[in-house]
Amino acid sequence: MYKKGLYAIAALVGMFLVALMGYIIILFLGNYVIDEKKFVMNSATRLVDQMGEEITKLYVENRDLVSIDQIPRHVQNAFVAVEDVRFYEHHGIDLKSIGRALYKDILAGSSVEGGSTLTQQLAKNIFLSNDKTLLRKTKEVVVAINLEQRYSKQKLLEMYLNQIYFGHGAYGIQAASKFYFNKDVSELTVEEGALLAALPKAPNSYSPILHPEKSMQRRNVVLNSMQKAGYLQAEEVVRLQGRTLSLNVQQKAKNPAYLTYIDMVIEEAKQKHHISSDDLLRGGYTVTVPMDKQTQEVAFRLFQENKYFPATDEKAQGSFILLNNKTGGVLSVIGGRDYVQKGLNRVNIKRQPGSTMKPLAVYGPALQEKIFQPYSLLEDEKRAFGDYKPHNANEKYAGKVTMYDAIKDSKNIPAVWALDKLQVKTAKQYLTQLGIPIDDNGLAIALGGLEKGVTPIQLASAYRAFAKNGEQAEPYFITKIEDRNGKVISEAALETTKVFSKQTAWYMTRMLEAVVKEGTGAAGSFEGALAGKTGSTSYTGVKGATRDAWFVGYTPTVVGAIWMGYDRTDKQHYLTKGSAYPSMLFKDILTESSQNKEIAFQKSKDVKDLPKPIRLPSIQDLRQELTFHPFGLLTVNLSWTMSEDKRVVYYVYERQEDEDKLVGKVKGKGSYNVERVNLFDDPVYYVVPYSTQTKQKGERSNEVTPSLFN
């Protein structure tokens, strides 16, 4: 009998030692099975505007991580009650629950009840596969026990609630709360928490959207479980089970208006901030972008309207970009009228820029180098420059024209002539500073005749130098990036390059305003201050056809560019009209997105203004009247209709015996008196208007001859 007692004690000690050894082995194995990196869950990256308002999400799994402190206790209780009522009592595995499950499985002859704890479910979801093998189940137990050793119950519950899938693409309790109820998890009511706790067992089968009746039944089961667990009173359960589902589903599909912008954010994150696209979609970042949502949506909508795209069919393409003048941040971008994610992004495609190059390659640099002034006279006669034979688009030539008018009317010959004086080498240096480095070396640069062309982004960025007192800066799509803990890990580098003086920038702004008010950019309507330049290139395969049409413009606050054309122009696919249409579209985008608030550009105090051009009148109504004075002297009183511009000077000439002589001049008046006239010399008088801006005379007036018998 004594020996039997010893054997029993020895057996118990042996069993204890085996159990202890097994437990130690389990703990030891946990170090190999548990990979801490797997606890880093995929979470959605949020794109927010400058005010912090969410624009969209980027994700592989739509998950927003929250701490257990943000999850109401009644929501925690709902999950514990229905999934693992003894969660706070066991140490990873619940032998009692396992025994009960086995008993029910034996009675049913199949698996009808699971015995897994929340910790085991967490272990399986994060570290293991769904294989129903003994080895996998063994690993699950090993991992679960080790998790309980390493983490508190609250931390385990937090990881579980952040990890599980709730259906309809929502991962984690916060994303589910936002999706089904459009509220933060901290605002969930008891019955809402119970509904969410009902879903993980079978997210599709119990979906309140697809199967509302089954979902409500399952929710009520959860409420009953909460009562049995002591979390709710019977009266509360009855009242809560009588409530409807009260969904407020917020199923946010990606807004097609944002697709180009999203792709360019992803690309910039990789190129400038060294965050891969995969990391961005999994890392739970908050990315602040300079997008103006209203402008982005207006631009997208107007780009769908065929009236802005005159072409041989409805497949003409276009692209658009708008920057903030002050910062260089991209407010809006459209990569194509039918842009698809990761598709052909036309704001990055180089095209022939046409006359939009004239201010950048010729006139801005010529002003900066002090070779010409805004009212300097430029040659405007059809001629060849070596082998290069440009011509004005309308084949009209004025002989000489001011820079102001050459820009306004987009004349070609003056631009080429001015570049010849400036020299191509100098022009290329300025273009490089403006972010448009080119390999071309011919005078065709003046008219945008480039081997590789220019992108809309490059043009908008370059014109920003005129809008921003001569400073150029690289555009950006990302203002800053914060990690999931709210720490700023990267910001936009706002580096600027001084290309032009304030004076040059102001002169160019004034002249480009004239382009919009009365020149080639006058098409369309815009109430605010706007400066800009048109450009177009011809398709030689069809007479009168246009290959590329452009408008680049800026207000006191924004600068942007629009391109129109086909990806591949041929005899069946070309634009039937020119740059008037991108001009109209640009103005309509600004107007409808309320970017027309500024009524005037503001001149710096240390900058000279550009006076309006002096337009010399045509005088065809010169009149004369004789008056008598003492001692028999005669005075000829000449008069004419004067210009409203009182800056015009009038030269008065007298001709006697085929000799013309200047007898006087008057400024801002329409009359002049010639004294001591001898009528026997048969004098003839005429007037010639003169501009002090250009040092240029206008057309001579009609002639008058004084006579006593008139």
Whether the CB-CB separation of 136 and 129 falls below 8 Å is answered with yes
Among residues 83, 191, 192, 379, the one annotated as catalytic is 83
State the alpha helices, DSSP H only, in 35-85. 73-83
CA gyration radius, the chain: 40
CATH hierarchy code of domain 623-697: 2.60.40
Average pLDDT value for residue range 573-583? 97
DSSP-based three-state secondary structure for 151: coil
Whether the CB-CB separation of 59 and 281 falls below 8 Å is answered with yes
pLDDT at 201 over 80: yes
Note if 625 is an active site residue.
no
What the block records as the tokens of 696 is: 């240029």
pLDDT at 508 over 80: yes
* pLDDT greater at residue 532 or residue 598: 532
Q: How many Cα atoms sit within 13 Å of 667 on the Cβ side? A: 4
Average pLDDT value for residue range 267-273? 96
Model confidence pLDDT, tens digit, residues 365-413? 999 999 999 999 999 999 999 999 999 999 999 999 999 999 999 999 9
Any idea of the CA torsion for 126, 130, 133, 134, to the nearest 10 degrees?
Answer: 30
The domain defined by 64-241 carries CATH number 1.10.3810.10: yes
Residue 664 forms beta bridges with which residues?
652
Confidence band, pLDDT 50/70/90 cuts, at residue 91: confident
So what's the pLDDT on residue 372? 97
What the block records as the tokens of 151 is: 């983490």
Closest by CA to 436, choosing from 357, 537, 525, is 357
Whether the CB-CB separation of 380 and 411 falls below 8 Å is answered with yes
Residue 379 forms beta bridges with which residues?
400
Model confidence pLDDT, tens digit, residues 251-261? 766 789 999 99
β-strands 623-629, 496-498 pairing: unpaired
What's the start-to-end Cα distance of the chain, in Å?
163
The Cα 24–Cα 400 span in angstroms is 98
Model confidence pLDDT, tens digit, residues 114-127? 558 998 888 887 77
Please state the pTM of the whole predicted model.
Answer: 0.86
Measure Cα distances from 203 to 75, 221, 674 in Å: 17, 15, 103
Kindly write down the DSSP assignment for every residue of 613-664, as one continuous string.
PPPPPP----EEEEEEEGGGEEEEEEE-PPPS-TT-EEEEEEEETTEEEEEE
Closest by CA to 495, choosing from 435, 428, 438, 429, is 435
Whether the CB-CB separation of 320 and 560 falls below 8 Å is answered with yes
Among residues 177, 355, 583, 643, the one annotated as catalytic is 355
**Residue 200 phi, psi dihedral angles, 5° rounding:** -55, -30
pLDDT at 22 over 60: no
What the block records as the tokens of 704 is: 């008058």
Residue 637 forms beta bridges with which residues?
625, 673
- 91-95, 230-234, 374-378: the lowest-pLDDT one: 91-95
Task: Tell me the helix, strand and coil percentages in the chain, rounded to 5.
Answer: 40, 20, 40
* Boundaries of every domain in the chain: 64-241, 352-454, 623-697
Closest by CA to 461, choosing from 435, 499, 439, is 435
DSSP-based three-state secondary structure for 566: coil
Average pLDDT value for residue range 24-40? 54
pLDDT at 657 over 90: no
Whether the CB-CB separation of 378 and 358 falls below 8 Å is answered with no
* pLDDT greater at residue 29 or residue 293: 293
Q: Evaluate whether 64-241 and 352-454 have a shared fold.
A: no
So what's the pLDDT on residue 16? 44
Confidence band, pLDDT 50/70/90 cuts, at residue 136: low
Average pLDDT value for residue range 654-662? 89
The domain defined by 352-454 carries CATH number 3.40.710.10: yes
Element holding 414 (H helix, E strand):
helix 412-422
Closest by CA to 359, choosing from 534, 519, 528, 496, is 534
So what's the pLDDT on residue 334? 98
The Cα 158–Cα 147 span in angstroms is 13
Whether the CB-CB separation of 25 and 227 falls below 8 Å is answered with no
So what's the pLDDT on residue 26? 42
Q: Where are the beta strands (DSSP E) in 5-116?
A: 45-48, 54-58, 62-63
The Cα 438–Cα 451 span in angstroms is 8
Note if 355 is an active site residue.
yes
- 32-41, 197-206, 294-303, 450-459: the lowest-pLDDT one: 32-41
Average pLDDT value for residue range 669-676? 92
Average pLDDT value for residue range 86-104? 69
What average pLDDT is seen over the chain?
A: 90
What the block records as the tokens of 519 is: 């020149």
Element holding 532 (H helix, E strand):
strand 531-538
Degrees, nearest 5: CA angle 15-20-23: 125
Distance of CA 30 to the CA centre of its chain: 49
Model confidence pLDDT, tens digit, residues 554-570? 999 999 999 999 999 99
The Cα 694–Cα 550 span in angstroms is 31
SS3 for 243-291 is: CCCCCCCCCCCCCHHHHHHHHHHHHHHHHCCCCCHHHHHHECCEEECCC
Element holding 172 (H helix, E strand):
helix 172-181
What the block records as the tokens of 178 is: 């936002």
Residue type, 177: S
Closest by CA to 624, choosing from 704, 710, 708, is 704
Whether the CB-CB separation of 640 and 619 falls below 8 Å is answered with yes
